[in-house]
Amino acid sequence: MAPPPNRRPGFSRRAQYGLFISYVVAVGGALVGACLLLLSTFNPPAFAAVRGFFSEIVTPIASGLDWTRRGVSGIPGGIASYFGVRSENAALRAQVERDRALVDQARAITNENRRLRAMLRLRDRTAEPVVAARLVYSSASSTRRFAVLNAGSWQGVRTGMPVRGPNGLIGRVVEVSPNTARVLLILDPESIVPVRRVRDGLPAIAAGRGDGLLEIRSASAAQAQFEAGDAFVTSGVGGVFPPNIAVGRVSRRARDLAEAAPLASPDTLDFALVQQMFLPEAGQVRAPEAAPR
């Protein structure tokens, strides 16, 4: 027989105790809430102390629950990160193996180059610095581009010596006095610098335009394609400029003749470094004719 739907808890002592405890808890909570409300209204400092006491008790529990919640919610992300790190680690290992092969190839080429140089008895030369001098003047308003250094023959400066800054080549010395030197900038239309492209060694000629930019011309018979961002450095051909000094970077794509921006601007430099000619016995550098008045 099914029990009646509206049964009173009097038949079970456990149900009676549970109902009594719930009533006591509800009444006690209401009394505590009323006391706290009165305390916060009439005695705020005492309420602040009570609130701080309960905060000290509740804060560790809340922190533990928050740590647990974050740990549980971070499990899927951790699993995804684990597999992501494994795939990235595999990709990096493959990249390291490819780079190792390139490094081994470069080492083999270097050793072969050293051996061939020893067989041919080639003699390398390093362009030693002569003096570091201040750029006291540079022409920027005319088509002829010169600069003046506050160092001359008394400091060891000679005609034809290259002048460079921290970012690249500036020019070469064309006139020398006891304490000053006149520098023909690579931006001058009379300046010609043998260069090569960094990415493939393409030989070219960098000539000044007189307007703060350079022209890069291909030195080979075949048509050359210049891409934006191509960097050019000195090639060492001619024996004046040491190799591997930064000269300019191509501004936009072109064929055979490209516009380039110099990497070293004399207008923004305070000091410059005068170096020895790469191969002084290769030839003498003749100073350009004076500009017309």
Q: What is the mean pLDDT of the chain?
A: 77
Whether 214 shows a pLDDT value over 80: the answer reads: yes
Q: Which of helix, strand or coil describes residue 96?
A: helix
Name which residue leads in pLDDT, 78 or 183. 183
- The pTM of this model reads 0.54
Record the tokens describing residue 8, joined without a space: 């009173």
- Give a yes or no: residue 204 inside a domain: yes
**Number of structural domains in the chain:** 2
246 and 138 part of one domain: yes
- Give a yes or no: residue 138 inside a domain: yes
pLDDT tens, residue by residue, 13-63: 777 777 778 777 787 777 777 776 776 677 777 666 666 666 666 666 766
160 and 76 part of one domain: no
- Give a yes or no: residue 205 inside a domain: yes
- Give a yes or no: residue 90 inside a domain: yes
Listed in sequence order, the residues at least 6 apart from 59 whose beta carbon sits closer than 8 Å to its beta carbon are: none
Q: Count H helices, E strands: the chain?
A: 2, 14
72 and 187 part of one domain: no
CA dist 109 and 130 (Å) reads 33
118 and 134 part of one domain: no
Record the tokens describing residue 128, joined without a space: 């030693």
- Give a yes or no: residue 32 inside a domain: no
> Residue 52 is part of which domain span?
43-124
Q: What's the whole-number mean pLDDT along residues 157-164?
A: 89
pLDDT score for 147: 84
